[in-house]
Structures are given as structure tokens and as C-alpha cells.
Amino acid sequence: MQHQYLFLDAIVENGHHGGLGYAEFQYFRQTPVVLTALLIGYFGRRSHMGFKRVLIANRGEIALRILRTLRDMGIEAAIIHGREDRLSLPVRMADVAYANYKTNPLDSYLDIESVIQAAKELKCDAVHPGYGFLAENAHFVSRLQEEGITFIGPSSDVITLLGDKIQARAAMEAAGLPTAKGSSEPIASADVARNLAEEIGYPVIIKAAAGGGGIGMQIVEKADEFEGALKLCQSRARSAFGDDRVFVEKYILGAQHVEFQVLADGKKAIHFGERFCSIQRRHQKLVEEGPWLDDEKRSEIGDLVCRGAEAVGYKGLATFEFLRDANGDFYFLEVNPRVQVEHTVTELITGFNLVELGIRVAQGEALPLSQEDITWRGHAIQCRLNAEDPREFVPSPGRLWECHFPSGFGIRCDTHAHPGYEMPGCFDSLLAKLLVWGHDRDDAVRRMRTALDETIITGVEHLIPLHRRIMDESDFIKGDITIQYIDMHQELLG
């Protein structure tokens, strides 16, 4: 037994744990020597195969979220940052930081060659894009591959496929996912589009093939509005995306927005259930919660999204988004090929660290879980605390004078904010994600009311007053919610 301790202590003296974390190392000190040698070999191989250092190509709360998980996994966290974020918590906490100051602050995170240069200079094995910025840029993924750097996410081919709403619709339809009536090809002419709209039946929606975030979408109620709406949609799509291809779908009246969380390793996929995301402003979500469906419907749609992910060879975290009509029927909307802002809701009700699982798959591991391992417990709600005027949803940059977030049983807050933090006006306005868990939805709503009341933010406008009113509103309490919720409850805006 003495030989065992000498062997392990010698490893430590040489500056490493043989691929083990500290807790694993302490455990193996109590393990028979032969078994210890075998386990050391296993974990040593695991360490050799895994990432040593990962560059976080993002900022704000998601950068901090990724950083914490990297530390939990024993991986060094590097970060690239602009001038505005030089004193931010993610930059302060990173093992190493790379200053990338640009005249346009957005370019600090969008300049592909600068990000790759940072990854190379800092000797990073991989890049985690978070959400936004370069997270869905296929060219960025291709350039990383050329440089021998792993992108934590799907391949460039899959991103290209899913980024084209027409191709994505066709691929998912072929995999068996339900889609709304509509065109399977770009609109060739106004006459063809008008005839299709008549066949589908009004109202219809015209969408940009390269669209996202509600950009390049027009709802058409009547035939005499169609041609003008088509030209406007094409013009906006050309301006925003450099691609004026559009398609037409049946517009789902009174729809709810439901999305499914998926993890895949390139061959097999599993799902972590659904999130309900119908409370939105300008096609951006404000409140997310889950679970929402009964077990039978969850299993049915869950099987379909796994089939869709496997059909395209998806690797990493993905979110399959659907519209659900008043009859309970689902219609495929899109796939977001990245971690979502609201992934945290799923973490609370399943108990799994989704960011860690995405990193493990990117390292080359097979799925570490089976579908049978995923269960759902209780109910979670997330409120996005944006620094915005709650009446007009206009960004409200500035210095935070007071900043206090709640804690306690069933409460989680993901934020990069702190007293004295200067909220820049050039980036997304998300300040914090406030989450609660309850034994059921009523319990979660009560806890969210308490958590919102405890939250103190001064120095900028924010959405806390709006969220407080939502939590007390009768339709919300009953769950009578569609994507028109905010439009139908303008009194909530104060």
C-alpha cells in the first residue's frame, strides 16, 4: 500500500494529477494499487483527449456561464474582449485574456481573423462561441477547422443548412417533422407566390430564407396586400442578409411558441424536453418556462426532434423551435444551432449542466447519457432582466449604482452585473437571467414574485416592473398565453 502513495505523491510533485481532478485524486489514494493504476490510465487518456484551454468568443452573462463550467471541468478559460469589457467579470475571472480593441465595438467579437489570431496566440484547443456574434457563422467554423482549432458546436455544413430556412424546412420535413403549409422553394415570382397564398389560404407569412430574430418577416391578411408585402420583405432581406430569397407559409393564428432542447454527438441525439417561450417582444423572448406539455406529447415531439438532429448529422447543443396551434398541433419553425439564452430553464428541471455536455461532445465523447437518464422534476421560470425602458423596450445603458440579486432555495441568477458596472449601449441589453424552481408552476410563480421583489437595480431602466406585472396577470396565471400576449396586454407596459 505504501507503493501506491509514493506513486500518487510523485505525480503531484511533478505538477499534475495524471489527468485527475483533485477529488478524484483523493479518492484514488484510498484505492488498491492495481485498480489505481488502471483508473489513472483511464483518466490520463481522458485528459489527453480533452481540451486544455478554450477561448470564449463572447461577453456578458454567457461568457461567465461558460467560464464557470470550464473551470468545473478543469479546463483553462481564455477570453477575447473589447475595450468596453476590459473590466468585466468574465475578463477578470479568465485564466488569460486577449484585448481586441476595435473602432466599432461589435468588431471585437465579430472579426473572424482577430478571434482566430487570439486562439492561436493563446494556444487554445477550441473556441466556444456562446450565442450571438459568431455562433452561427459557417465561415468562422470553416476557418477554425483550417487552423486545427475545434469549434464547440455543429459543423459548418450543418450551420449552413440550418441557417437557410428553406433548406432547413425541407430537411426536417423529410425527417418527419410537421411543417405548416407553404413553399418548399424560394419564391420565383410575385404571381407564383400569390397563387400559392391563395391555395394555402390567408393569413400567410412571408419569410426571408436567411432570416432570424423576426427580421424579414411580413404577415399578409388579404390578397391585395400581398405584392407590397412581398417587395418589402425581399428588400429588407436583401439589406439585412444580402439574400432576397423568401418563402411563404400559412400563418398560425393564436399560436404558442414551444421549443425542445437537444444534444447530439453527430450520430445519435437525445432530448431534454420542452420550454415554453410565448411571452415575447419584437420576436425576442422575455419569459421562458418549463415543462409545459404532457408526457405523451413530450415523448412524441421529442422523438421527432431527435430524428431531425440525427438526419443532418448534428453535433452539440441545439434547440428545435415550433409553433403550436389552438388544437395542440405542432409546426416546425427553425433550429438554433447553439446554446440558447434560456438553456438554464432546462438545467433546473433536469439537473444536467448543458454547457458541460456540449463541451464533452465537442471533445469527441459519445453521448454520455441515454434518453432514459433524462427526467423532469418540478417547474422552472426565467425572466430576462434587460436594461431597457419597460414601456418602449429601448436600451438603457449606464452605470449601475445599486445592484443586488436574490438568492435562497430554488433561486438562480446568471449575471455579469455588479455595483459600478458600466452597461454599454453597443451590445445586447441583457443584464441578468433570474430563474426560480418550484414543485409546480404555482409554486414557481410565487417564488418568482419574491425574487423580483428582492432584486434591486438602480442607474439604468430595466424590465423588473414589467415582469412583476406579468407574474400577477390573470391570463399568465391561468397559462392562457400566445405569442401575441404582450400585444394583447399593453396595460402591462405601464
* Mean pLDDT of the 399-409 span: 97
On the question of a cis peptide bond just before residue 203, with omega within 30 degrees of 0, the verdict is yes
Residue 16 has pLDDT above 70, yes or no: no
The span from the CA of 301 to the CA of 276, in Å, is 14
Give the pLDDT score at 17. Answer: 40
Q: How many domains does the chain have?
A: 4
pLDDT tens digits along 267-277 = 999 999 999 99
Q: 297 and 245 in one domain? A: no
Q: 339 and 205 in one domain? A: no
Nearest to 339 by CA among 246, 268, 433, 417: 433
Give the pLDDT score at 200. Answer: 94
Give the pLDDT score at 109. Answer: 98
Give the pLDDT score at 215. Answer: 79
Is residue 159 one of the residues assigned to a domain? no
Residue 18 has pLDDT above 70, yes or no: no
Q: For the domain that residue 97 is a member of, what is the CATH number?
A: 3.40.50.20
Query: Where a domain ends, among 250, 284, 308?
Result: 250
pLDDT tens digits along 119-129 = 999 999 999 99
Nearest to 380 by CA among 413, 337, 402: 413
* Mean pLDDT of the 416-421 span: 97
Is residue 174 one of the residues assigned to a domain? no
338 part of the active site:
yes
* Mean pLDDT of the 75-101 span: 98
H/E stretch holding 273 = strand 269-281
Is residue 161 one of the residues assigned to a domain? no
- Which has more pLDDT, 195 or 348? 348
The span from the CA of 40 to the CA of 158, in Å, is 37
Query: Where a domain ends, among 222, 250, 278?
Result: 250
Q: Which parts of 325-367 are beta strand (E)?
A: 330-336
Is the CB of residue 50 less than 8 Å from the CB of residue 44? Answer: no
Q: 379 and 485 in one domain? A: yes
pLDDT tens digits along 210-259 = 887 777 789 999 999 999 999 999 999 998 889 999 999 999 999 999 99
Is residue 175 one of the residues assigned to a domain? no
Is the CB of residue 218 less than 8 Å from the CB of residue 231? Answer: no
Is residue 164 one of the residues assigned to a domain? no
What are 247's three cell numbers? 418563402
Is the CB of residue 388 less than 8 Å from the CB of residue 431? Answer: no
Give the pLDDT score at 189. Answer: 86
Give the pLDDT score at 331. Answer: 98
Residue 11 has pLDDT above 70, yes or no: no
Q: 461 and 338 in one domain? A: yes
Q: 319 and 435 in one domain? A: yes
Give the pLDDT score at 188. Answer: 83
Q: 351 and 270 in one domain? A: yes
Q: 136 and 197 in one domain? A: no
Give the pLDDT score at 14. Answer: 36
Q: 69 and 15 in one domain? A: no
Is the CB of residue 84 less than 8 Å from the CB of residue 90? Answer: no
Q: For the domain that residue 320 is a member of, what is the CATH number?
A: 3.30.470.20
pLDDT tens digits along 57-76 = 999 999 999 999 999 999 99
List Cα–Cα distances, 32 to 1, 12, 40, 392, 438, in angstroms.
Answer: 7, 18, 12, 66, 44
For cell 445592484, what's the residue? 403
* Torsion of Cα atoms, 84 then 345 then 407 then 425, to 10°: 20
Residue 284 has pLDDT above 80, yes or no: yes
Give the list of residues 6+ apart from residue 148 with CB closer than 8 angstroms, or none.
none
Poorest-pLDDT segment among 186-190, 262-266, 460-464: 186-190
Nearest to 374 by CA among 357, 393, 398, 349: 349
Q: 435 and 291 in one domain? A: yes
The span from the CA of 299 to the CA of 32, in Å, is 44
Task: Determine the Cα angle at 144 with ends 133 and 20, to 5°.
Answer: 95
Choosing from 338, 360, 384, 468, which is the catalytic residue? Answer: 338
Q: What is the mean pLDDT of the chain?
A: 91
Is residue 167 one of the residues assigned to a domain? no
Give the pLDDT score at 216. Answer: 78
- Angle separating helix axes 165-174 and 295-311, nearest 10 degrees: 110
Q: 330 and 227 in one domain? A: no
What are 122's three cell numbers? 493563446
Is residue 136 one of the residues assigned to a domain? yes
Query: Where a domain ends, among 221, 250, 279?
Result: 250
> Which structural domain range is residue 144 located in?
53-152
Banded model confidence at residue 49, pLDDT cuts 50, 70, 90: low
Is residue 331 one of the residues assigned to a domain? yes
Q: 479 and 334 in one domain? A: yes
Q: For the domain that residue 198 is a member of, what is the CATH number?
A: 3.30.1490.20
Q: 314 and 407 in one domain? A: yes
Banded model confidence at residue 32, pLDDT cuts 50, 70, 90: very low
pLDDT tens digits along 328-365 = 999 999 999 999 999 999 999 999 999 999 999 999 99
pTM comes to 0.89
The span from the CA of 31 to the CA of 3, in Å, is 12
Give the list of residues 6+ apart from residue 388 with CB closer than 8 angstroms, or none.
394, 395, 396, 429, 461, 462, 463
The span from the CA of 177 to the CA of 335, in Å, is 12
Banded model confidence at residue 40, pLDDT cuts 50, 70, 90: very low
